[in-house]
Structure 1
């Protein structure tokens, strides 16, 4: 048998495995290896093309990206296509009425000033014509100029001269009539929408309204002139509403996307500036830096390694503190990555579904068999992410999520269906179950794509998926012995192999010390049940119990279970000599196991199952013989149990020997005896170097009592033959 723990015996590993930074170095190494294997799959494919050249092949976009220039152009078109928004300015009608009122108010003021001037002239009297002419301040022209100056420029500069004269000559009643008539007409007309192209028509309408009044001709013309020039457009562009409408139209334009897998240019098509811009946006030209995707890959890998380190530091697995197991985990992960990378090279053969043959589940199988299922589950997650990148040749994207799902489900199935036996039938069953899951995943992926596949292609997909399941189990079982031999990991399959009664050492016990063999089998039953109850490795405890007394085969007759119909040799041997013979058997057994290069855990159980307990029988026998024995001479030299399994095997060993020597054992007597043995060992400090808790000791006590209850159950006392009642007539 190869030495399974050779790496722990290597000087270089002993020197560094407990280094404070070794775990960081292992995680860093795993990350760097992952990056090295995946970076070629993330490197952008830069095309050596220029504007005006002919495309040598069909070029599709590897990513989904927005063409912002085209999006902005379409948004501008959408905004420009929106007609201006007009609104009725109702305030304009009030404004024009106010202006008309100002006009007539100005006329009244000018008329008032003229009358005042006339009154001043009348007061002067008949002082002479010369003085009279000097007192007349305004001429007719000056009166009209004064009136015009008091009008707003929009009206004063547009009214006819006759209109001014008519206004100046009108009486108060006429001015009031004119004001009401023109105001009413203007207000009525401007209550309706008047666009820029409808002003003339509106002015005509206002003029026709005022001309309907019964007034003299000059007043009619003046009112018409005022009405026409008081009408202005009131249905105008609403700048704010127009802007809002155009912004809304621009927002409704969907972004122009170059979608993943979209054909940008066909083979033989001339590459225009627009096409070149799309290639550049998709990252396919030499203008794009390769650092961007590599940075993304590095970030993803960093996150994965950080998550892995956090998970392993919190999960209840051996990887939490055992750096040798962590190195094994990293190696399994690396080997599986390399296998996936090599499998991805099969895509060059252009065979449908060929990469589904990838034995990715081999890694999780190895992790489950050599380490713990929890570690294997997390490994399946890591491998699935890596698989999405490694098997991306058939897609334009960086990750192919179909292969990611395939590898993930395949790995999880291998953990759930893992059988720790290495028997061929169990291996085939596990491989068949993984193959079935692979087949279901591939079928689901094909159905999701909704693509019609010919029967032949479907057969290829199914065949490769099934082959991948069997390849995984074959590869895992083939690599298992190398990892077991190299990393000191005692797997369940190895334990099952060691439990085979045909193993040389077990046959040696059976043939040379049959009583010890039977004793070991009972101890194995007790220890396995107790270890399973406290969450320890029950299988390890069973196999360790099989070998724990192998040292008795050197002098089997000195052990009571082998003294069938023979005198006890201890009756003729001094107590000290007897004690030496008995005390030697754990260490003789350990040496025998080491020579056979047995696993370290089995050796430890054989060497530690008595700890440093006192050999009370011979110690007190020596005292009875009048000697003054030293207690240390009658104690096992140790070491004490360093694991739960060693401690439980030691308890089971003592319990089995004690119960076997009882006369008419009852359940109550057995329970008291088991409790006494455990308490004695606890008080003697035999559990000081293992992590058994008081609660777990109570569980061990309960489990052992339950097992012994079934072994030493009550039996019916059958009467002797001569005391049986005879049949009638005999």
Structure 2
């Protein structure tokens, strides 16, 4: 019937240390976080239609641009930009040049016609009308279609019939008139007025009226608008106007519809734009939440991997860390719903500091500080229950400050008074944080609302301390955590095992107390857990209670029973005490760390006294293995220190008239022998740390075995009687318990 619990325990130990158990825990934690925060990120879908009356205020859950409104403003801005016109001053010269070209063309045609006539071999006179018609066609062919169409045939014929000298005079006058008129600004609407000016400016008495009319027609033809539409600059101005229009944004938390409003087209379009009316399934929030959870778990795993804590290699501690995280997350989720009731600041009652206080006591402060950041990040999402945004930065700040206070104000002592004091300090910090959030917003609050916020924050700190006190024993028991409170409880002299040692082996009890003093001081010098070393030392020799009189410190003035039995039997009795003690400690369900110290404090050291005694009268020396402890060797620094302190105390106690020099030589000798014997090979202790241990123990021993004045009675008795009380193997006890 006793084998079943043992097999179940072995099965559970195998499960805890399985290589994939941490991955499974991480996966389940990620799923838990995803489910807890899912309701806070899924967009709310409203069953609302045009002309419905809004039953509550509706705010935008996101920040998004209203493109339709922005485009409308841009279109209005473009329409408001007037067309841009520019004065083309070079048009005057250009058009004057065109006038000159027309007259030069006529002069050239006249010359060509004259040359053609003189070179003709025919003696017959050419018909004047045919000649003129031919010249007219030549001019019109040479002119562009636009020019020839606008100049009448009468005007061209008049120019062709005019002498060259008159044409030169007409050209100059017409060109100057065109330049003069074109020098002024001429818009398209003022073109006719500008052309009418030509008739008044051409006033030459030396030309015929017919030629003057032709000059006026050519001049009016050359007048064109010189204040023209600039397409490029106008488009540029319109682009700048469009770009300068600020985008119309719907801000996160912006009030879209007020309670009692009738939904119109504009409101309906805005609600649809922000996704409140989108009936299709939007996968982006689900993907975003998954990435958010991945970031949190990635941060957690990276910190655990890089931090030098027990959470890295101990799956039980990792599970405990995750369990505290889950509990705090549940607390935040539950208290987040209190924001839905109409009590100002009630959400601040969340005792988030309980998580960091538990981790500070159960693991260490560094893990608790890191957890504060995780709680704040997760809380920003969990407390967005009644907000338009998916992240509530206000509560994130409060959760960060509160949880940091819980880790920083709690030292390694977890006495109830200290926990309550830490809770009071956390409450004070919470109140300051809440007042900071209220005042920094600049909002007007009445004293009732402020009082409600302050009361909630103060309650949070006190509740965190009470919750820590209530949950701590469950974690210590369930995960076999050797916390400070547990160690203090185990160090109580009224503990059944300590009373057993005191009553059945008083010499061993005194020896254990001194070993505890030595080990605690040495551990604190190295930065190790001094309280663990002290308590471990108290119980390290509990196995001697099985046969207390076989150990020198419990014999007083009795006969030494080892003198009546063989060295092999004595060895068996002596060697069994670490393992008898370990079994007894397990029977009392003592923490594993204490059991390990009891089992490892002799390692595989040799019982030199009985080994040499057994080999005195034999021809073939017996092997050392028969006189060595079976181990294991000390596995950590605390066990090493307790082992050294055990041997040092026994050796120094067996010395007659110990002096500082003798004590120092003995301590160095013991450490050197254990080092050479390989007793420290399986721990990570260094030579420098061994030197620090020796110095620490020397300081402690000087206070314990200080030199005393010898009184007359003591001088008469002498030191021999003092030595005889320890039996014939007392001096070898520092290596052979």
- TM-score w.r.t. structure 2 length? 0.88
C-alpha change, 1:87 and 1:675, in structure 2 (3 Å) is farther
Choose the corresponding residue for 1:222, options 214, 232, 238. Answer: 214
Bigger RCO (CA 8 Å, 6+ sep): 1
Q: For residues 298-317 of structure 1, what are the structure 2 equivalents within 5 Å?
A: 298-317=290-309
Contact 1:419 1:427 (8 Å CA) reproduced: no
Distance 2:555 2:595 in 1: 26
Give the corresponding residue for 2:718.
Answer: none
Give the corresponding residue for 2:644.
Answer: 651
Superposed CA deviations along residues 606-658 of structure 1, whole A, max 9, x for unmatched, are: 11101111121232344456685542332222222222221221112112222
Give the corresponding residue for 2:82.
Answer: 83
Deviation at 1:9, TM superposition (A): 6.0
Deviation at 1:201, TM superposition (A): 3.6
Structure 2 residue matching 1:157: 3-state secondary structure: helix
Q: For residues 211-290 of structure 1, what are the structure 2 equivalents within 5 Å?
A: 211=203, 217-290=209-282
Structure 2 residue matching 1:211: 3-state secondary structure: coil
Deviation at 1:602, TM superposition (A): 0.4
C-alpha change, 1:217 and 1:599, in structure 2 (3 Å) is same
Structure 2 residue matching 1:48: 3-state secondary structure: coil
Distance 1:520 1:191 in 2: 119
Deviation at 1:431, TM superposition (A): 0.6
**Structure 1 alignment gaps of length 5 or more:** 1-5, 126-130, 722-730
Give the corresponding residue for 1:70.
Answer: 69
Q: Does 2:582 match 1:590?
A: yes
Q: Does 2:379 match 1:387?
A: yes
Superposed CA deviations along residues 47-78 of structure 1, whole A, max 9, x for unmatched, are: 11122322232222122221112212211221
Give the corresponding residue for 1:143.
Answer: 135
Distance 1:133 1:90 in 2: 47
Give the corresponding residue for 2:24.
Answer: 25
* 704-713 vs 44-53, greater mean Cα deviation: 704-713
C-alpha change, 1:230 and 1:606, in structure 2 (3 Å) is same
Choose the corresponding residue for 2:459, options 464, 467, 475. Answer: 467
Choose the corresponding residue for 1:132, options 102, 106, 125. Answer: 125
Deviation at 1:428, TM superposition (A): 1.2
Distance 1:281 1:588 in 2: 77
How many corresponding residue pairs? 708
* 195-204 vs 157-166, greater mean Cα deviation: 157-166
Distance 1:372 1:573 in 2: 51
C-alpha change, 1:14 and 1:719, in structure 2 (3 Å) is closer
Contact 2:571 2:627 (8 Å CA) reproduced: yes
Give the corresponding residue for 2:336.
Answer: 344
Superposed CA deviations along residues 495-550 of structure 1, whole A, max 9, x for unmatched, are: 12222233232334344444433332332233233334444333222211121122
Deviation at 1:31, TM superposition (A): 0.9
Deviation at 1:553, TM superposition (A): 3.4
Distance 2:692 2:200 in 1: 114
CA RMSD of aligned residues (A): 3.0
* 32-41 vs 464-473, greater mean Cα deviation: 32-41
C-alpha change, 1:230 and 1:305, in structure 2 (3 Å) is same
Give the corresponding residue for 1:725.
Answer: none
Distance 2:597 2:140 in 1: 125
Structure 1 residue matching 2:576: 3-state secondary structure: helix
C-alpha change, 1:200 and 1:12, in structure 2 (3 Å) is farther
Structure 2 residue matching 1:264: 3-state secondary structure: strand
Contact 2:50 2:265 (8 Å CA) reproduced: yes
Give the corresponding residue for 1:52.
Answer: 51
Q: For residues 661-676 of structure 1, what are the structure 2 equivalents within 5 Å?
A: 661-663=654-656, 665=658, 667=660, 669-676=662-669
Superposed CA deviations along residues 470-503 of structure 1, whole A, max 9, x for unmatched, are: 1111112211111121122222221122222332
Contact 1:530 1:699 (8 Å CA) reproduced: yes
Structure 2 residue matching 1:619: 3-state secondary structure: helix
Give the corresponding residue for 1:428.
Answer: 420
Give the corresponding residue for 2:732.
Answer: none
Distance 2:570 2:35 in 1: 65
Distance 1:669 1:208 in 2: 138
Deviation at 1:668, TM superposition (A): 5.1
Give the corresponding residue for 1:128.
Answer: none
**Structure 2 alignment gaps of length 5 or more:** 714-737
Give the corresponding residue for 1:727.
Answer: none
